[in-house]
Structure 1
Amino acid sequence: MKSKKSLVFSILIVMLLIITGCSSANEKTTSKESGEKSVTMLFSFASETMDPHQDWMGVRAGVAETLVRIDDNLEIQPWVAEAWERKDEKTWTFKIREGVTFHDGSPVDGKAVKASFERVLETNEAISSSLKIESMEADGQEITFVNTEEYPAFLSELVHTNTSIIKADAENIGEQPIATGPFKVESFISETEVNLERYEDYWDGAAKLEQVKIKFNSDGNVRALALQSGEADIAYHLPPESLEPIESNDKLRVESVPSLRVHFLLYNNANSALQDVNVRKALDLLVNRPVAVEEIMNGHATEAAGPFNPNFAFAGETEPTSYDPEKAEELLKEAGYQKNADGKMEKDGKVLTLKLATYPGRPELPLLAQYLQGEAASVGINIEIITIESIDSYLWEQQDEWDMVTYSNLTAPRGDGGYFLNVAYLPEGALNPGQINIPELNKLTQQLNTTADPEKRMELQKEAVSIIQKEVPHSFILHPHIIVGVNDRVKDWEPGSEEYYLITNKMDVK
């Protein structure tokens, strides 16, 4: 398998070098002829809609904004709201910044913010569940929220991009939402591209760029080639094996930023074989994390021992699981499996066969799937790989069609693990298509949700990580770096670890 991979990578590098030699990184950069300041970005995940209440691209594209945001240190800062106060255990009051307007020029006040939240609570069940809003009251530039229960995490949940403030009664929100960001949507083609133009009356100062184009392409190698040919100024989520010709080009640079996400195997609890913790532990032992970091990610990652980046104090102290196929076989035998005459693991006359879904939006995930397939075959497990473009809809809408998935999630996007514990492990969680239900973990997460003391929250999160490591509902592989290729003409911009704020009013071009 390794030799085949190396051959493919070698061919790819040759292709990249040829194309690089034939084209300059500045030949096709957009808008040079017109004199306008603009940027073209290639992004890996296509947006079906520009509705900020349904898709992250509203905030990522600089079209929409939330009441609060996080900074580079993952600390919560004002945004559309300039101040807030927690009145009691369930009540929060936010003061809306004076001078903020929607893209149609209408002012943003408490009433407009209330209407925006009423819409998202009605149209986005997952956000409605996570916000726990019982009632809202608007008064001038203020809005007051009352939660259904004591909920210290409410403030951090307002960072979520789907809580964006938009004009709720606008038409065609899916294609041209009217929001408050430095850019407004000029045109949008679903799953293809979005074209943005500067909003001149933006409250924090008009953007330096006049236009931005964001194009969607799930093929990482195509994104890398487009950067080298000058067709794109910024290309997100580049394959590590494509970096050499970019790094050697004096007009381009590579930004590699440690992320707040984890790549992992998500197990479908609906599969009877995977309901056995010994089977899940066996699969976990077949994950060769050092190989994944060094050979697949070319060192642009950190081995994972749990869901949270090890730099977080609440990540736990357990070391990553060591690769051990012999122990994996022992655990499978404890689960009742024996090798048949063909060397396949079999139980009750049925060979252990699992369907593993993956997706190309993050180009390393299919490679991780192939590695696992090979390691599993060595101990007698059949793994069938299927590649899906729209992975999230597939996992939820066809839950009986898959057994495992190579997946990737932000786990502590606001510097706290409560988000991931709620959405990934509670039975009703928005990121729980695997139908995980661990009563001990559920109880602890509910306790965390009503705990405000930082030290107590940290201890509860450590306990949660210990339960997760014991039950293995997921196999955590690595914490990837965000690998972005950038043309040197782009200045005053760098990718953030939170992956929220891609287009800003401060970014510029030479």
Structure 2
Amino acid sequence: MKKSALFAAICVPAFLAAAPLAAKTLVYCSEGSPENFYPGINTTGTSFDVAEHIYDNIVDFERGGTQVTPGLAEKWDISADGLTYTFHIRKGVKFHSTNKNFKPTRDLNADDIMFMIERQWKKDHPYFNVTSADHSYFDSMGMPALLKSVEKVDDYTVRFTLNKPEAPFLSNLAMQWAGVQSKEYADAMLKAGTPEKIDQEPIGSGPFYLVQYQKDAIVRFKAFPEYWGGKAKIDDLVFAITPDASVRWAKLQKGECHVMPYPNPADLDAMKKDPNVTILEQPGLNVGYLSYNTEKKPFNDVRVRKALNMAINKKAIVDTVYLSTGVPATNPIPPTMWSYNNSVKDDAYDVEAAKKLLAEAGYPNGFETDLWAMPVQRPYNPNAKRIAELMQADLAKVGVKAEIKSYEWGEYRKRMQAGDHQMGMLGWTGDNGDPDNFLHTLLGCDAVKSGSNNARWCHKPFDDLVVKAKAVSDQKQRSELYSQAQVIFKEQAPWFTIAHAVQLKPVRKEVVDFKLSPFGRHSFYGVDIKGK
């Protein structure tokens, strides 16, 4: 990078802080840097928030809801047996043309849809290993076994044939992993010997195109004037990367950013009193949890897992850390989700019963273990380090000595997926409003292989239920299967379920029509700025 460009990249946040915001510029104080610009290998909302502005999907979710709507496919047909999905791709969809290395010569077509799927599915595909071969979502959802074939019928028609019916299939295609890249760009970069550029200098067909990225500082977008859905109402979109929640709040107060995620619970009273700020609120489609690595002793013994569940004071954690922004979690899915089993009872906080169970399991004096805590604030966990300290103190009362460990966020997730931990905190925000996205994606046997089941818990009675539920179209039947699965989950205790966090979004009052996403995403297409 030239010195002048580097200087500009570093100075942009300071400039935004010092000068009035330009007309139609919206600044979002994001919590972190994206992992890269290829959603097929990412798992964090931080990365998805960036990618969803750049790429389009075959189908979308309605703004602020879970209903599947047309995207790149203007319509689709589903066969009577539920095995064949034929998508009719809209014509005239333009790719971004601002990249200095490549200019598109054609509109988006079926080849680009094929590229998106085959890159994640076919191990001999030239892009399968580019940037990373870890296609977490594709694998966790069992896509390799589900897909029988994907065919280009003609330039604007793609047919998916499944090996078995899959109730959440359309919803799954609306998720970020299925963002469509340009095959023409990919071919050109492969020929040039720089295939990784498609994930570093992205070209999509989405409502915004990337102008500048400086890690840990800024992501700058401009509205794409030729976007098929119509140009965005704002001209410039800036993600000012601000990891500290208190700093985000200070910037919001000063008008240096318009929207911020994940406020500190302790700041909420002050936020409610600020006349320039509105706090949008809705129940969170999420869960925070502590997973036990069931492949490692002593956590391969269900008695040990149950004992630790009884030894930790969940109410104290929620009261101390979440304050009014969370509710204690019993099940692995949130209470607002269909199929939630209200009859499941949580493990009671009972230190003496925990000691007794540990003794039965052969650990009358406890044991030593690690306890991993995320280094960052997440939508499902406002302060993992503080929670780890409370857990550590509780576990000491039953003789369990837990050493708190943490790593840089990217490294933390990588190591958790690899199963390096004994006990580790993580969480999940739903992607599509379907229980499958929690119960199979996080706890199914397929998900052990992909790493998203970080308890590494492959339990056949549970897995049989959630796999069967995927293939049933009737929601009542599916709900009964998921209800049974939650009973087994609680009996087997692969997690200590911590809390479901309320989604809270402080927004400045000049922001028009920003909608909360049930999936915790931050999307600015359709948003305007008042008085600009």
The corresponding residue for 1:423 is 441
Q: Secondary structure at the match of 2:221?
A: strand
- Which of 428, 448, 466 in structure 2 is aligned with 1:409? 428
Residue 290 (str. 1) matches residue 315 (str. 2): yes
1:332 aligns with 2:348: no
Structure 2 residue runs of 5 or longer lacking an equivalent are 1-13, 98-103, 123-127, 129-133, 190-196
**1:235 Cα offset (Å):** 1.5
Asked if 2 retains the 8 angstrom alpha-carbon contact of 1:59 and 1:65, the reply is no
Separation in structure 1 between the aligned mates of residue 200 and residue 526 of structure 2, nearest angstrom: 21
Aligned to 2:182: 167
Of 364, 370, 376, 1:360 maps to 376
5+ residue gaps, structure 1, are: 1-26, 340-344, 346-350
* Residues 420-429 or 304-313, more deviating: 420-429
d(CA) in 1 for partners of 2:383, 2:313:
14
Match of 1:135 among 149, 154, 179: 149
Name the amino acid aligned to 1:146. T
| Correspondence for 2:401 among 362, 382, 397 | 382
Q: For structure 1, which segment, 113-122 or 74-83, has the greater mean C-alpha deviation from structure 2 after superposition?
A: 113-122
Between the aligned partners of 1:167 and 1:30, the Cα distance in structure 2 is: 36
After superposition, give the CA deviation of every residue in 1:470-505 in whole Å (9 maximum; x if it has no partner): 100111111101232222222211322212342223
State the match for 1:22 in structure 2.
none
Contact 1:256 1:300 in 2 (8 A): no
Per mean C-alpha deviation after superposition, the further-off stretch among 384-393 and 217-226 is 217-226
Question: Measured at CA, do residues 417 and 58 of structure 1 come closer, stay the same or move farther in structure 2, by a change above 3 Å?
Answer: closer
Residue type matched to 1:243 in 2? L
* 1:281 Cα offset (Å): 1.0
Query: What is the identity, as a one-letter code, of the residue corresponding to 1:116?
Result: M
Cα distance, 1:100–1:287 mapped onto 2, change above 3 Å:
farther
Give the whole-Å Cα distance in 2 for the aligned partners of 1:255 and 1:321.
Answer: 33
Give the conservation status (yes or no) of the 8 Å contact 1:52–1:162. Answer: yes
**Over residues 6-38 of structure 1, what are the superposed CA-to-partner deviations in whole Å (9 max), with x where a residue is unaligned?**
xxxxxxxxxxxxxxxxxxxxx986696474211
* 1:508 maps to 2:529: yes
The separation in 2 between residues aligned to 1:497 and 1:90, in whole angstroms, is: 28
2: CA distance, partners of 1:382 / 1:58: 37
Counterpart position of 2:90: 97
The equivalent residue for 1:116 is: 116
1:472 and 1:224 map into 2 onto residues whose CA distance is: 38
Moved more, 296-305 or 472-481: 296-305
- For this pair of structures, how many residues does the alignment match? 471
Q: Does the 8 A contact of 1:236 with 1:484 survive in 2?
A: yes
CA distance, structure 2, for counterparts of residue 148 and residue 222 of structure 1: 50
Which position in structure 1 is the counterpart of 2:10?
Answer: none
Superposition RMSD in Å: 2.4
Q: 1:273 to 1:91 in 2, by over 3 A?
A: same
Contact 1:62 1:501 in 2 (8 A): no
Where 2:414 maps in the other structure, the secondary structure is: helix
The alignment status of 1:247 with 2:272, answered yes or no, reads yes
Cα shift readout 1:159-203 (whole Å, capped 9, x = no counterpart): 220101121332422223111211000112345431101101111
Q: Is the 8 A contact 2:338 2:435 kept in 1?
A: no
Match of 1:274, SS? Answer: coil
Question: Which of 483, 486, 492 is residue 471 of structure 1 equivalent to?
Answer: 492
SS at match of 2:524: coil
How many Å separate the matches in 1 of 2:203 and 2:271?
37
Q: Residue 166 of structure 2 is aligned with which of 141, 151, 158?
A: 151
For the residue of structure 1 that corresponds to 2:56, the secondary structure is: coil
Q: Which amino acid aligns with 1:100?
A: V
State whether structure 2 residue 33 is matched by structure 1 residue 46: yes
Distance 1:286 1:242 in 2: 30
Query: Hey, what's the Cα distance between the residues in 1 that align with 2:368 and 2:18?
Result: 56
Q: 1:462 to 1:45 in 2, by over 3 A?
A: farther
Which of 453, 457, 462 is the matching residue for 1:441? 462
CA distance in 1, matches of 2:522, 2:470: 27
Q: 1:368 touches 1:406 (CA, 8 Å); kept in 2?
A: no
The residue matched to 2:334 in structure 1 has which SS? Answer: coil
* Structure 2 residue 67 is matched with structure 1 residue 86: no
TM-score by length of 2: 0.82
Q: How does 1:183-332 map to 2 (within 5 A)?
A: 183-317=208-342, 318-332=344-358
Deviation at 1:454, TM superposition (A): 1.5
3-state SS of 1:218 partner: coil
Secondary structure (helix, strand or coil) at the match of 1:275 reads coil
SS in 2 for 1:302: strand
Name the SS of the counterpart of 1:313 in structure 2: coil
Identify the residue that residue 16 of structure 1 maps to in structure 2: none
1:326 & 1:43 partners in 2: Cα distance? 44
**Secondary structure, aligned partner of 2:40:** coil
Aligned with residue 416 of structure 2, among 391, 395, 399: 395
